[in-house]
Amino acid sequence: MALRAGGRALRLLPGRLRAPAARLGSRGAAEAQEDAEVNTRKKTFTEVQTERLEQAERTVLIKCPSRLNEKKLLQYLSSHGKINSHFFFENRGIHALIEFSEKSSVASLQDVVGIPKAVEHHVVPFKSRLFTFTLKNPVAKTAEETPVHLSPQSHIPVNELIQKLHKADSISSQMYILLNEYQLTEENIKLRFLACSLVQDFARAYFPDSTVKPFGSSVNTFGKLGCDVDMFLDFRDAQEHAAKMKKGPFEMEYQMKRLPSERLATQKILSVIGDCLDNFGPGCVSIQKILNARCPLVKFAHQPTGFQCDLSVSNSIAIRSSELLYIYGTLDPRVRALVFSLRCWARVHGLTNSIPGTWITNFSLTMMVMFFLQKRSPPIIPTLDQLKELADEKDKHIIGGYDCSFVSDLSKINPTKNTETLDELLCDFFEYFGNFDFRKNSLNLRRGKEVNKPESSPLYIWNPFEQDLNISKNVNQPQLEKFVAMARESAWILQKEDRTQRMINKEPWGLAALLIPFGKSNTNKMRRTKGMGSETIRSLLDSLKLSNASNLQKAVGK
């Protein structure tokens, strides 16, 4: 825990929200000016992606002994080129991520790295950017070899979080503490892009123009430490390149395997890359090919980075969704703090689940928060229609007949005039959805308006891009009812609690009070016998819920 706490100390709360723009490594004098220009504004989603992908290509991962002389290791590696950044982390042993300044340094290092000797085992001689570092003559531990500082790659458990929240001075602060503990760190993001880049090495072996890019939570600013890495294989650049090459008196084409459908091509490519990862990829285990899904994918565990990965082939709409969330998450610091707090709250109360089912998904919940923020007065974030109005020619994206255009340049979006605190927003969120007429209305984020439900799904949230789809079609009536009940109870707790008294009593207060399953005592075990018994509290809560029961049933459409 000491290590974790140490890792956090450097990060300031609101400053972190602009991290992608603020943490540029300088690469060369030539690029410095351009970088400086870009740094003065918030980067676009594409700029961040491109930069991080390029960084990842200059990066290697080294498994180290548990005690080592960090300085000597870096000195040794520096003989292959300047190191831009590095960090250590724990994952089945100590690992070092080393980002060189130049891609050529990786090749230079690879040139002197050996193939393990085959004494008792034989190896598949695929040369990746994953190395193992050992001391040739392991001597007795000297003073020089000290444990290195380790960057945390997972978040603290909820019970530890609750302890931390106690010391805050407002619900707002509590929400930023939660955000800071749960959000992806700079180091974790680098590691995610490295995982993609290592898979890209496999894809580029056969498709040199292809790219493997992360999408979803790894890049939409709403990812939590420990979440899966969704990545996709992109051939689009290659195709654009090919299209412009057809000139000259003759036509010369590659002979290529032809298949009756794009889906079949996707399946075959994913299948072979899955086999390559399985058979050649060091630390790629538990490969599962799910090729008959609507969106064919290969799941695998990537042991060197510690990530569970999902590899699919370019899904344009998923990428637009990632960028939309990136924009919303980057526009105002309150957005992510509210989403992270509500996701944690929903998880504690069993409203979301990592297993697919009738639960509300994280994506649906996030969209509900976005909708809520569009509805504030004045709005905290713009509607999707407003973002589309700001789009210029290069922002135009028509995908499968759907207009998925919206502005990519954040500086074109006027900052909100709304000054509400997160304390207010959290409480109002619960109240807003505790009283929402789900029976009649749906959430339309394009227009930022409640509109009549087009069909009878209990919860209807318009897919922002494929507008004839409901992103929360999976949610059933009992789950929706549970959500509404929890929202109401949470609103009630926040409104009724005597914060001063709770702080004196060392009882969880504010956000912390909402992160303890209702029905359990909100006080710790020691205190329980002193105050009211947990059963007493429970029956009190139940009576309060009962008084709301008829309203509830109306609201959710029974």
Q: Which of residues 111-130 bind a copy of itself (CB under 8 A)?
A: 111-116, 118, 120-128, 130
Give residue 158's Cα distance to chain centre: 18
Q: Which of 12, 22, 32, 242 binds a copy of itself (CB under 8 A)?
A: 242
CB 68 within 8 A of CB 145: yes
Q: Distance (Å, rounded) from C-alpha 188 to C-alpha 88?
A: 11
Determine, following the binding rule CB under 8 A, whether residue 252 of this chain makes contact with a copy of itself.
yes
335 closest CA partner among 512, 179, 203:
179
Return the structure tokens found at 377: 């007065």
According to CB under 8 A, which residues from 124 to 163 bind a copy of itself?
124-128, 130-136
Return the structure tokens found at 71: 């300085």
According to CB under 8 A, which residues from 420 to 439 bind a copy of itself?
none
Q: Which is nearer to a copy of itself, 254 or 400 (CB)?
A: 254
Determine, following the binding rule CB under 8 A, whether residue 262 of this chain makes contact with a copy of itself.
yes
Determine, following the binding rule CB under 8 A, whether residue 251 of this chain makes contact with a copy of itself.
yes
Q: In this structure, which amino acid lies at residue 295?
A: C
- The distance of closest approach from Cβ of residue 227 to a copy of itself in the complex, given in angstroms and rounded to an integer, is 24
CB 395 within 8 A of CB 405: yes
- Residue that has been written with the tokens 């091509």 in this structure: 265
Site string for a copy of itself, 297-336 (x = CB under 8 A): -------x--------------------------------
Q: How many residues does the chain have?
A: 558
> What one-character-per-residue DSSP string does 12-70 give?
-HHHHTTHHHHTPPP--HHHHHHHHHHHTSPPPHHHHHHHHHHHHHTEEEEEE-SSB-H
Buried residues in 35-47 as b, exposed as e (16+ CB within 10 A): beebeeebbbbeb
Q: Distance (Å, rounded) from C-alpha 145 to C-alpha 65?
A: 10
- The distance of closest approach from Cβ of residue 287 to a copy of itself in the complex, given in angstroms and rounded to an integer, is 12
Q: Which of 9, 33, 159, 208 binds a copy of itself (CB under 8 A)?
A: 208
369 closest CA partner among 342, 347, 345:
342
Determine, following the binding rule CB under 8 A, whether residue 401 of this chain makes contact with a copy of itself.
no
Site string for a copy of itself, 74-113 (x = CB under 8 A): --x--------------------------------x-xxx
- The distance of closest approach from Cβ of residue 262 to a copy of itself in the complex, given in angstroms and rounded to an integer, is 5
Q: Which is nearer to a copy of itself, 213 or 302 (CB)?
A: 302
- The distance of closest approach from Cβ of residue 317 to a copy of itself in the complex, given in angstroms and rounded to an integer, is 19
Determine, following the binding rule CB under 8 A, whether residue 469 of this chain makes contact with a copy of itself.
no
- The distance of closest approach from Cβ of residue 250 to a copy of itself in the complex, given in angstroms and rounded to an integer, is 6
- The distance of closest approach from Cβ of residue 113 to a copy of itself in the complex, given in angstroms and rounded to an integer, is 5
- The distance of closest approach from Cβ of residue 112 to a copy of itself in the complex, given in angstroms and rounded to an integer, is 5
- The distance of closest approach from Cβ of residue 321 to a copy of itself in the complex, given in angstroms and rounded to an integer, is 25
According to CB under 8 A, which residues from 266 to 295 bind a copy of itself?
268-269, 271-272, 275-276, 279-283
- The distance of closest approach from Cβ of residue 294 to a copy of itself in the complex, given in angstroms and rounded to an integer, is 18
Determine, following the binding rule CB under 8 A, whether residue 261 of this chain makes contact with a copy of itself.
yes
Q: Distance (Å, rounded) from C-alpha 62 to C-alpha 106?
A: 12
Return the structure tokens found at 342: 């509500």
Phi, psi of 534, rounded to the nearest 5 degrees: -60, -35
Determine, following the binding rule CB under 8 A, whether residue 253 of this chain makes contact with a copy of itself.
yes
Count of residues engaged in binding a copy of itself, rule: CB under 8 A: 71
Q: Distance (Å, rounded) from C-alpha 519 to C-alpha 517?
A: 6
CB 312 within 8 A of CB 232: yes
Determine, following the binding rule CB under 8 A, whether residue 62 of this chain makes contact with a copy of itself.
yes
| Cis peptide, bond prior to residue 304, ω within 30 of zero | no
Q: Which is nearer to a copy of itself, 205 or 540 (CB)?
A: 205
Determine, following the binding rule CB under 8 A, whether residue 29 of this chain makes contact with a copy of itself.
no
- The distance of closest approach from Cβ of residue 267 to a copy of itself in the complex, given in angstroms and rounded to an integer, is 10
Q: Distance (Å, rounded) from C-alpha 472 to C-alpha 458?
A: 9
According to CB under 8 A, which residues from 507 to 526 bind a copy of itself?
none
Q: Which is nearer to a copy of itself, 208 or 400 (CB)?
A: 208
How many other CB atoms sit within 10 Å of the CB of residue 235? 18
Residue 360, classed as helix, strand or coil, is: coil
